[in-house]
Structure 1
Amino acid sequence: MAKKYFVRYGDGYGAEMTMDEIREEILLGTQDAAERGQIPPLTAEEQEHLLEICTMPAKFVAVEPGKEVVMTNDEGTLKVSVRCGLSIDRTTALLINEKILCMDSAELAHIDYSYKPIKGIIHDEVCAMHHAQLNTIIPVFYGAMPNLGLYTRPDGPVGNWAELLPAGEIAAARAAQEEAMEHAVRDIVTVAHKMYEAGADGINLDTVGASGDADALAAFRAVKKIREMHPDFPVELGMAGEFILGMHGQLQFEGKTLAGLYPHEQVKLAEAAGVTIFGPTVNTNSSQSFPWNIARVCTFVKACSEVSNIPIHPNVGMGVCGMPLTDSVPLDAASRADKALVEICKIDGL
């Protein structure tokens, strides 16, 4: 009887597979990504390397000494205090990130993690950044999401394209997105400028494209303005999904239509905008196995890494880049995903 190995599915559920079954899952996963992204699949050697990682007997695996990569994080100050339920302030959470978790950088963030609400309390956030910089040694970014949906009525000034599109009001939906972009760019640039003056080591635009191609275009335009104002200010940009949703469908940046772009295409536009760290994202399919998911991830991220001229820090949070869709990600899956990204995709950080 063939030996079976413990694997997980995209929802975190545990199961067992033989080595041949895992090998087949890896093949199917890389073929799926190659077909969708019109990119080369993993080589036979890379697939065998991934098979070796998936079948390692240890619960937790790691890279060899000397092959470690740096780590950045998004919403980092909230993961310790809010999500873990610890009664501490955000600057204390930053110290935990630095002195206990040994992060290479950290991010100050507000629980209302979008640039629109942040702009209204920027004076308070500037004070928090001052305290953070006084107490920490590692680079501290400030971050939030473009989140174009917040600009729609009744909470915002523009029409809601999620309601207009089903009603067949295509022109009105597109006009609403274009107007929302203008508001978002102004808010992002304002917050970034204030954080630059407060001594932040960089700005992070997180979950870019969550509201579609207009969301992504707002981020790219904002980054370009930020870099024109402050050429020495690092900008990290993390995507919301593996391809950009065409909620508008006609928007372009630098002559390239945004709708439908995959990571290896997204990163070139990020470079053109002035992004200094790019975070590609590949969605986890909760009904597929970890070997299938991580094969897709490595196929997309490898293609992205090969064409990129800026550091690549794949998003390895809940439900993306091989991580199961669970609140607390299992270390067996997380460590294997990280190892595969470093060794196969030649990434610069996580």
Structure 2
Amino acid sequence: MGKIFSRRGDGFAIYMLEAELMKDLEDGTQDASERGKIPPLTDEEVKHLFDICKSIHKISGVEKGHEVVMTYDGGTNKIPRLGINTGRLQTLQIYERCFGADTTELSDPDYTYRQVKPTLRDDIPMMEQAQLLMVVPVFYGAMPNLGIYTQPDGPVPNPMELLPVGKIKEAKAAYEEAVELAVRDIVIVASAYYEAGADGINIDTVGACGDPDFKAALLASEELTTKYPGICIEMGMAGEFVLGMHGGISHNDVKLAGLYPHEQVKMAQAAGVTIFGPTINTKPAKSIPWNIARVATYTKACVSAAEIPVHANMGMGVGALPLCLTPPIDIVSLASKAMVEITDLDGL
């Protein structure tokens, strides 16, 4: 019996026996089930994943009629990363007219709401021009990134310097002050772009600084939906569970630290978010089949709990894709097919 080509979570090629492949699928779904306290994949779903993962094709795909919507984060930053000299408007056109993207996103290379606020006057005309150029929806996106509010770059004392010397109350107070500042910046920037014609706002990489970061995103979403009824807000997470950097922050009487995707989505939709992007971390030392089963288990539970569309984050180091700068297309397409067919999500 020949071995099956696959990859590790770091992108390196490996070969697996059928028994090894099946064991990794079973172990992956069990890991997610135990950590998230959610049901594992059924035997039938594991067998379906097995058939997908042993594919010999360079590119995998879903059947016609089963395609899902694609949204993008940091869209205008990614083509220039490849050394292709294009402006942001041209990059949007490439996504729409070359890649067939369902949506696009205008964003700044410094992908943080606080950092882009001083350049709003110069960048707003670009959104207005984008609306004249594009047919597909054009979002504006950036991160809350509470870390950038801390000294020496920001106004708030750095909790990472306060905690080691036992100043726990002061560290918590610093996080709480950063939340207030971040909410203000997100609302100012998002309002400006929405009024300039943006079809939606992406609050991305939420929770990168833990529970204060998630709190800021939720409060900003609530304020924006009150200010602009019907606004489209996409919230993409930073990781599979919310880190307790503060540890005591709650929202609507729910403690934010430790929430998994199926719990995060409930908080997001209650805050007025209209598209939710769960993020599950790829384990580089494990096989891609192990990671796919794990990610599918988390995402399936998230979709079941959601009342809004779920667009799973799939990129370098998340969503069962390898932790490398340019994930190989064989695994990108295979993992995407698995997510669509197993989890019943709405988009990627």
What TM-score comes out, normalization by structure 1 length? 0.99
**1:30-69 → structure 2 map (5 Å cutoff):** 30-69=29-68
Task: Find the aligned partners of 2:162 and 2:281 in 1 and give their Cα distance.
Answer: 27
Task: Find the aligned partners of 2:344 and 2:163 in 1 and give their Cα distance.
Answer: 41
The answer to whether structure 1 residue 79 and structure 2 residue 85 are counterparts is no
Identity %: 54
Task: Find the aligned partners of 1:238 and 1:90 in 2 and give their Cα distance.
Answer: 21
Aligned to 2:196: 198
2:92 to 62, 83, 94: 94
Report deviation, 1:318.
Answer: 0.6
Q: What runs of 5+ residues in structure 1 fail to find an aligned partner?
A: none
3-state SS of 2:139 partner:
strand
Task: Find the aligned partners of 1:296 and 1:171 in 2 and give their Cα distance.
Answer: 37
Aligned to 1:253: 251
Task: Find the aligned partners of 1:133 and 1:84 in 2 and give their Cα distance.
Answer: 25
**1:213-228 → structure 2 map (5 Å cutoff):** 213-228=211-226
- Measured against aligned partners, the alpha-carbon deviations of 1:315-343 in whole angstroms (never above 9, x if no partner) come to 00110010000101111111111011100
Task: Find the aligned partners of 1:231 and 1:339 in 2 and give their Cα distance.
Answer: 35
Report deviation, 1:85.
Answer: 1.4
Aligned to 2:170: 172
Task: Find the aligned partners of 1:220 and 1:187 in 2 and give their Cα distance.
Answer: 13
Aligned to 1:28: 27
The answer to whether structure 1 residue 283 and structure 2 residue 278 are counterparts is no
3-state SS of 1:268 partner:
helix
The answer to whether structure 1 residue 336 and structure 2 residue 334 are counterparts is yes
- Measured against aligned partners, the alpha-carbon deviations of 1:147-180 in whole angstroms (never above 9, x if no partner) come to 0000000111101112212222111110000000
Task: Find the aligned partners of 1:125 and 1:251 in 2 and give their Cα distance.
Answer: 34
Report deviation, 1:54.
Answer: 0.3
Aligned to 1:189: 187
Aligned to 2:12: 13
**1:119-134 → structure 2 map (5 Å cutoff):** 119-134=117-132
List, as ranges, runs of 4+ consecutive aligned residues in structure 1 with deviation greater than 6 Å.
none
3-state SS of 2:6 partner:
strand
Aligned to 1:104: 102
Aligned to 1:262: 260
Report deviation, 1:255.
Answer: 1.2
The answer to whether structure 1 residue 235 and structure 2 residue 207 are counterparts is no
Once the two structures are overlaid, the 10-residue window that deviates more, 120-129 or 235-244, is 120-129
Aligned to 1:274: 272
3-state SS of 1:153 partner:
coil
The answer to whether structure 1 residue 295 and structure 2 residue 293 are counterparts is yes
- Measured against aligned partners, the alpha-carbon deviations of 1:283-313 in whole angstroms (never above 9, x if no partner) come to 0000100011111000000000011000000
Task: Find the aligned partners of 1:290 and 1:21 in 2 and give their Cα distance.
Answer: 12
Aligned to 1:316: 314
What TM-score comes out, normalization by structure 2 length? 0.99
Q: What runs of 5+ residues in structure 2 fail to find an aligned partner?
A: none
